[in-house]
Amino acid sequence: MDQSMHGLIGLSGAEWQDLCTRVLRVHHGTDLVVVPDKGGDHGLEAYTLSGHLFQCYSPDEPLTTSKRYEKQRAKTTVDVGKFISNSDKLKKLFGEHVKINRWIILCPYIDSKDLAAHCASQTKRVREAGLTYVDPDIHVICQTMEDYEFSYKKVVNAQLARMHLPPLAEPDYSSVGSGGVDKMREKLAKVHSLRDESRRNDYVQRLLYSYLNSQEFRAYIKDHYTEIHALLESELDDLEQRLVMEFVLDESRAATQLQKVLIETEQRVKKCAPDTSSSDSRTLAQGQVADWLMKCPLDFYEELAS
């Protein structure tokens, strides 16, 4: 899976449906007909005048491969059943000129070949139903956003172009657990320039300010810019893996390590949201580094006092 799409796993059903609709609009243009949820459950989100029908499904994660497949299989079976049983409603919906030739379940992630096999069995089921709004050569298939990569990236780029974060507010420091703050102070004491307690306390306070505001920023991004949120979370998860596997082996001075992590984290943020202001990018980056300091992925080689 493309790294930029990995963060789509775990989107809520509403978030996934909204993203799919916007990507499909770009991909199919005016050929796409979106079916509103109100007015009855037709078992589909949208269809095209050329005969492609879409059902969008994002199961609650995390899941094992087998559990994910079971949920995707069950969803496909149920909604293909609705496609067959709701024949009176669907005849009116499609009219005389639309014949469905592709019934598509669109998921954030498919990691079992068994889903394709199940779709093949559902193809046989639909063909045998003899529906007037179905093309005789219909296929039930499963897809992910990788099948719409160009359109997906156009949607992401459009979001990037208009992304604006709310102004910073004075955060509520009482919401941060004292254990995490103590752990941060202990780690930062290894940085030579922060051994002075007063100086270190000021640095910790600044990191906590960024941490709490970055949480607000990320919640706002998730609510208003789903694709950017997915990309940002994916990039930061990837960087965290580097902290665990690579930075832990770095024996350079603590100050050098800390500066390196701060710079690389900000670069990852800017990669995901290049039009974000420098101050907002720093807040997001410093907030993530504060999180790592409090929750263990980031630590420094012990510097002995001279």
pLDDT of 160 higher than 70: no
The phi and psi torsions of 47 (rounded to 5 degrees) equal: -150, 165
Q: pLDDT higher for 15 or 276?
A: 15
Q: Tell me what the mean pLDDT of segment 97-118 comes to.
A: 96
CA torsion sign, 162 to 232 to 56 to 54? positive
Torsion of CA 68, 71, 75, 76, to 10 degrees: 50
Written as six digits, the tokens of 147 are 């099948």
Q: What is the mean pLDDT of residues 220-235?
A: 84
Within 8 A by CB and 6+ apart from 299, the residues are: 187, 248
Q: What is the pLDDT of residues 27-43, one digit of tens each?
A: 999 999 999 876 566 78
In this predicted model, what pLDDT tens digit does every residue of 74-106 receive, in sequence order? 999 999 999 999 999 999 999 999 999 999 999
Omega before 108 within 30 of 0, i.e. cis: no
Identify which has the larger pLDDT, 163 or 11. 11
pLDDT > 90: percent of the chain? 59
Mean pLDDT along residues 106-126:
96
pLDDT of amino acid 39: 58
In this model, does residue 125 exceed pLDDT 70?
yes
Quote the tokens at residue 75.
Answer: 């969803």
pLDDT at 170: 80
- Residue 102 CA to residue 80 CA, distance in Å, equals 12
pLDDT (mean) for 8-20: 88
Question: Nearest-CA neighbor of 226 among 147, 144, 71, 108?
Answer: 108
Element (H, E) at 113: none
CB 268 within 8 A of CB 196: no
The predicted pLDDT at position 174 comes to: 84
Distance from C-alpha of 202 to C-alpha of 293, rounded to nearest angstrom? 16
CA distance 272 to 238: 13
**Is residue 290 within 8 Å of residue 208, measured between CB atoms?**
yes
